[in-house]
Amino acid sequence: MTLRDRIALPVLHRLDPEQAHRVALRALALGLAPLPGPLSSSRLRTQIAGVGLPNPVGLAAGFDKNAEAAGPLTRAGFGFVELGAATPRPQPGNPRPRLFRLSEDRAVINRFGFNNAGAPAIAARLARARAEGRLAVPVGLNLGANKDSADRSADFMSVLATAGASVDFVTINVSSPNTERLRDLQGRDALAALAAGVTAERDRQMASRTRPLPVFLKIAPDLAEADLSDIAAVAREVGLDAIIATNTTLSREGLASRHAGEAGGLSGAPLFDRSTRVLARLSVLTGGALPLIGVGGISDAEGAYAKIRAGASAVQLYSALVYEGLGLAARIARGLDELLQRDGFASVAEAVGTDRDRWLS
Helix spans in 15-151 (H): 17-29, 70-73, 119-131
Is 41 known to be catalytic?
no
Integer Cα distance of 163 and 156 in angstroms = 11
Integer Cα distance of 356 and 360 in angstroms = 7
Per the CB < 8 A criterion, the answer to whether 211 and 168 are in contact is: yes
Helix spans in 171-318 (H): 188-205, 225-238, 272-286, 301-310
φ, ψ of residue 238 in degrees (nearest 5): -80, -25
φ, ψ of residue 341 in degrees (nearest 5): -65, -45
Check 176, 267, 313, 319 and give the catalytic one.
Answer: 176
DSSP 358: G
Q: Which amino acid is at 86?
A: A
Q: So which residues are the catalytic ones?
A: 176
